[in-house]
Amino acid sequence: MNDDNKYSRVIESLKRNRPILQDRERLTDDIMREIKKSSAVATLPEKLVNYFFAWVNNYWLRGTMAVTAVLFAGFFIIQQLVIADRLDKLERQVVRTLYTINDHEPDLGINQRILLNLVLNEQMTEDSITVSTSDMEELLNYVLELQNKYGDLLQDAGKNPYILKRIRQSLEESTNSDEI
């Protein structure tokens, strides 16, 4: 009888001191979501995603994969930078042979420098003259245009040695007659 009274008193006491819920709705939602989750059946894409990305749940595997990916990306960037640097050095090797032009016109592109070098070489064997920048640019454009035309002409000739020889002869003759 004493025991019954004791339990009754405890229950009465608990009933009197009910816990106060701060967010009753959230608790309901959480309970409902957990119930739904356990009862819901995963779809095939979800299963596939879960299967492919199962490794992310393993701490060590996740870390290793992430580090490997970063290393690959870093290696790629470094390798490309090294190659770019070596190419830059190689390009300077070409420029070094044309340094006299490089000193005067540092902004000129490599192709222009090569072309200018060739044009100047031709001139220097004959005479020493002074040419203005605009005249030189115009001359360069003409040379480029002529080179393109000459290339087309060679292509049209089908690289036949006989035809090429005749073309050269013809060009030389016309140049000589122009000079006369």
Partner 1 sequence: MKKRFKILFTVFIMLMFSSCGDNETHVINTVHEDGSVNRKVTVKTTDKKDFIQKNSRVPVDSTWRIEITYDINENKDTVWLLTADKHFDSVEEINEEYDKDKGSNRALKRSADFTKSFKWFTTVFRYTETIEKVLTIDCPMSDFLTGEELKFAYLPGKIRGDLKNGPDSVRIKEMEERIDRKSEEWLWTCEFRQWVEVFYDLFGDNPDLGITRDEMRSRESEFAQLMTGDDNNNDEGANLDSLFATVVGEDFVKTFKTEIDSAGSVVDTIDSPFWGASKYDMEIRMPGRIIASNGYAEIDPDSDNGGGILWTVKGDYFLTETYEMWAESKVNNYFIWIITGLFILFVSSGLIFYHRKAKSS
Shortest reach from residue 157's CB to partner 1, in Å: 15
Instruction: Confirm if 113 and 95 have CB atoms less than 8 A apart.
Output: yes
Alpha helical stretches, state H, the chain: 2-16, 24-39, 44-52, 59-96, 99-104, 110-126, 133-156, 161-179
User: Is residue 97 close enough to count as binding partner 1 by CB under 8 A?
Assistant: yes
Q: Of these, 14, 31, 124, 146, which contacts partner 1 (CB under 8 A)?
A: 124
Cα–chain center distance at 118: 35
User: Is residue 142 close enough to count as binding partner 1 by CB under 8 A?
Assistant: no
Distance CA 141, CA 31 (A): 81
Whose tokens are 């070098």? That residue is 117
User: Is residue 120 close enough to count as binding partner 1 by CB under 8 A?
Assistant: yes
User: Is residue 89 close enough to count as binding partner 1 by CB under 8 A?
Assistant: yes
User: Is residue 75 close enough to count as binding partner 1 by CB under 8 A?
Assistant: yes
Closest CA to 97 of 114, 116, 119: 114
Shortest reach from residue 158's CB to partner 1, in Å: 16
Shortest reach from residue 13's CB to partner 1, in Å: 38
Distance CA 4, CA 23 (A): 35
Whose tokens are 């016309």? That residue is 174
User: Is residue 68 close enough to count as binding partner 1 by CB under 8 A?
Assistant: yes
User: Is residue 72 close enough to count as binding partner 1 by CB under 8 A?
Assistant: yes
Distance CA 77, CA 43 (A): 40
Q: Of these, 108, 114, 136, 163, which contacts partner 1 (CB under 8 A)?
A: 114
User: Is residue 136 close enough to count as binding partner 1 by CB under 8 A?
Assistant: no
Residue numbers at the binding site for partner 1 (CB under 8 A): 49, 52-53, 55-57, 62, 65-66, 68-69, 72-73, 75-76, 79-80, 83, 86-87, 89-90, 93-94, 96-98, 100-101, 114-115, 117-118, 120-121, 124-125, 147
